[in-house]
Structure 1
Amino acid sequence: MPTTDLGTSPLVGFDLDMTLIDSRPGIKAVYDELSARTGADIDSDLVVSRLGPPVEMELGHWFPHADVPAMADLYRSLYPQIAIERITLLPGAAEAFAAVRDRGGRVAVITAKNAPDAGRHLDHLGLHADEVRGRAWRTGKADALRELGAVAYVGDHVHDMEAAVLAEIPGVAVTTGPSSPEELEAAGAVRVVTSLAEIPGVLDAVWPPRVVA
């Protein structure tokens, strides 16, 4: 894969679900509750095997098109009480944020999840992001990356890598989500790692730590 100089620009973007957090237990529990309340036969194990797209896209597999907006509202109303406590950090998440800041950089979380719930996760898990952008997917993520002046985007999904390509910045892919290494490379990832624990090493290669006198 090609190497890309990240330079000294200040901000690195991160996806949230299955990049920074293992959101499967919480999301599964919300879909199970949604199924119980509506009578819809939702396979929540299948749902959490393909996380990434906005909730409306997933709900479209289980409800008539006309019902999706209301089901999305119900899902989001249930989410804070059911999901937040069940979700944990993925290995290396805190260290990846620290590695960016050690280099004088800032961190943004850019996610398809709504921003309030993204913020709740970060607060609950003790992560601080300088910027949080929610309800962003593929081209929406690219727009946010450009607006924020991001120098790289870290994500687990092929559409995360496509967003980085559209924003004309390096995409660093982590294989903790549903996309395979081959799919991530084909989508434009300049680096593919198996864990966020490898992110400091990736940054070492292209963006040395800041020297403090």
Structure 2
Amino acid sequence: MGPMASTTRTAPTVGFDLDMTLIDSRPGIRACYLALSERTGTYVDADLAVTRLGPPLVEELANWFPAEEIAATADLYREMYPSYAIGPTLALPGAREAVAAVRAAGGRTLVVTAKYEPNAKLHLAHLGIEPDAVVGNLWAEQKAVALREHGADVYVGDHVGDVRGARAAGARSVAVASGPCGAEELRAAGADVVLADLTQFPEWLAGFGDGEGDGAAAARA
């Protein structure tokens, strides 16, 4: 990307992914999959499923359910989700501070996630994380639709699909190695910068306004 305009330097719009970027939803999702298995009588390896969060629910369900049952099972999972998955889910280290750092810079924040949007909003409300906008049901390059609509300068995510979404939107891709994809995999996918987790994001954001953020982060990653 070329140099940012002075207005975007002082007031960036930053998009964040949700699962394994802002929140550790593995305990809640595991509980929901176990309950789904009990309800449907179909085995789901919940411990395996939570190691590959990021893609849409239907892609994971396809590993366990016949094709003709996936749509109805996805609806059932989403209906069960608030009862099982919201309470056990925690904010990842630095999540609240990352959102606050964007606000302190005068910017806007949005969450763009593949998760069912009403459940995404329940997570954020439960954890007291308050972005300016939440858009669900978008994965990988589809995320670019919301990122462009909201004028995102930066998109932060933990998955190579998030990197692809940022690049498709023409946004700076900031990857955090807090999810299923390692730092080298994220770099290979085209991330502009890789951070260990969101605790490093406020410092990176401070440098981003001066055009120094990528270099400083690359030195640490």
TM range (shorter): over 0.9
Alignment-derived partner of residue 121 in structure 1 = 123
Alignment-derived partner of residue 132 in structure 1 = 134
Alignment-derived partner of residue 23 in structure 2 = 21
Q: CA deviation at 1:10?
A: 3.8
- SS across alignment from 1:7: helix
Contact 1:4 1:170 in 2 (8 A): no
Which TM-score applies when normalising by structure 1? 0.94
**Cα distance in 1 between the residues matched to 2:149 and 2:79:** 29
**Cα distance in 2 between the residues matched to 1:120 and 1:195:** 23
**Cα distance in 2 between the residues matched to 1:3 and 1:98:** 26
Q: CA deviation at 1:3?
A: 10
The answer for unaligned runs of 5 or more in structure 1 is 209-213
How many percent identity over aligned positions? 53
Q: CA deviation at 1:105?
A: 0.2
Q: CA deviation at 1:132?
A: 0.3
- SS across alignment from 1:153: strand
**Paired residue type of 2:131:** A
Structure 1 residues 38-187: aligned runs within 5 Å: 38-187=40-189
Q: Which stretches of structure 1, 4 residues or longer, exceed 6 Å deviation after superposition?
A: none
Cα distance per residue 1:106-161 (max 9 Å; x no partner) = 11000001111111111110110100000010122011101110000000000000
Cα distance per residue 1:59-83 (max 9 Å; x no partner) = 0110011100000000000000111
Alignment-derived partner of residue 211 in structure 1 = none
How many equivalent residue pairs?
207
Larger RCO of the pair (alpha carbons < 8 Å, separation 6+): 1
**Cα distance in 1 between the residues matched to 2:22 and 2:175:** 12
**Cα distance in 2 between the residues matched to 1:75 and 1:3:** 43
**Cα distance in 2 between the residues matched to 1:46 and 1:90:** 20
**Cα distance in 1 between the residues matched to 2:60 and 2:156:** 23
**Cα distance in 2 between the residues matched to 1:123 and 1:31:** 22
